[in-house]
Structure 1
Amino acid sequence: MDWGKGITMTLAAFAVLMLSMVAICVKQDDIHLVTQNYYEEEIKYQDQIDKMINTSQLNYEVLAYDNQLKIIDLQLPTGAKGTLHLFRPSDARLDKKIDFDIIDPNVNSVDVKNLKPGYWRVKLSWTENGISYYQEKKINI
């Protein structure tokens, strides 16, 4: 084999590789953004920082995950209202949002056994006595 054929074969193999990569990328249909309204979320991020500062001033842990029982415990007082967002970074179709209003402090856990195993972010935002809070925890189910 001479140089001309080697270079031609190398370029042809490279072209086939590139065309197959393009075909794979075009066929992919499960591309998800972290959030649909990314820019609006970015502008509101200072409010999020203020909520996280409020949470850091609490003297107790609000969000706890029991890996054995597959339960998320919310240690919130009566009267707290908010949203628990179970966020799956790899697939937005699996995300779940749960609104809550703590009436009985003894009933404040969420069963996550039915969620797909893997990496999840639990985002908890709530209001208590007129003050807004936010806490995020990374879990593996």
Structure 2
Amino acid sequence: MKTSTENKSFTLWPYAIVVCMVMFMGYIASFVYKAMNQDVDLVSKNYYEQEIQYQDHINMMDRTKAAGNVAITYNHDIKGILVQLPESFKGQPIQGKVNLFRPSDDQLDQELPLQLGRDLSQLIETEKLQTGLWKVRVSFTAKNETYYAEQNIQVAKP
């Protein structure tokens, strides 16, 4: 006759499986916690509203191309961005803004008023801008029509 102690054999497999499952669930829970607390910025704060107005944006760009080339150039020697409107706008009252957009950090974005000289140009100093890629966006109104131009520039320090 067998005793009850002979039938009982101790094995660690069930405990090891349970411990592994608990550790895996803990890893997944910590991963989900980190993912939920990650700050995810869109390219723009009002991205969805901008998408709805995209056709108007396309129309503005077409009008700008038809009126002439808006030149946006970066000059490393004078440490500035030169915005030059075409001669077709000469003698017209122009109001607008220049937006300096930093794709990698939205807190560095700047918006400046468009203040053109007699030659329809404006120089924007870049000494205080961080080095790297910037998008210069110029939007303005002339004769009750809106216009828009955009150019990528690479700001470099000497």
- TM-score of the pair, normalised by structure 2: 0.67
Q: Deviations over 1:65-93 (max 9, x none)?
A: 22333311111346321111111111111
Which range moves more in the overlay, 18-27 or 111-120? 18-27
Q: Which 5+ residue runs of structure 2 have no aligned equivalent?
A: 1-15
- What percentage of aligned pairs have identical amino acids? 32
The match for 2:96 among 82, 96, 104 is 82
The match for 1:97 among 111, 114, 120 is 111
Query: Residues 106 and 42 of structure 1: is their aligned pair in 2 closer, same or farther, counting only changes over 3 Å?
Result: closer
Give the number of equivalent residue pairs: 138
- Is 1:57 the counterpart of 2:66? The answer is yes
Cα distance in 1 between the residues matched to 2:137 and 2:74: 12
Which range moves more in the overlay, 103-112 or 67-76? 103-112
- TM-score of the pair, normalised by structure 1: 0.74
Cα distance in 2 between the residues matched to 1:42 and 1:60: 25
Cα distance in 2 between the residues matched to 1:113 and 1:23: 41
Letter in 1 for 2:97: T
State the match for 2:128 in structure 1.
114
- Is 1:68 the counterpart of 2:68? The answer is no
State the match for 2:7 in structure 1.
none
How far the C-alpha of 1:58 sits from its partner, in A, is 3.0
Alpha-carbon RMSD across the aligned residues, in angstroms, is 3.0
C-alpha contact 1:32 1:91 (8 A) present in aligned 2 = no
Cα distance in 2 between the residues matched to 1:20 and 1:138: 40
How far the C-alpha of 1:18 sits from its partner, in A, is 5.3
State the match for 1:129 in structure 2.
143
Larger Cα-atom Rg: 2
Tell me the SS of whatever aligns to 1:36: coil
How far the C-alpha of 1:12 sits from its partner, in A, is 9.0
Letter in 2 for 1:94: L
Cα distance in 2 between the residues matched to 1:120 and 1:13: 45
Query: Residues 74 and 27 of structure 1: is their aligned pair in 2 closer, same or farther, counting only changes over 3 Å?
Result: same
C-alpha contact 1:88 1:119 (8 A) present in aligned 2 = yes
C-alpha contact 1:64 1:74 (8 A) present in aligned 2 = yes
Tell me the SS of whatever aligns to 1:46: helix
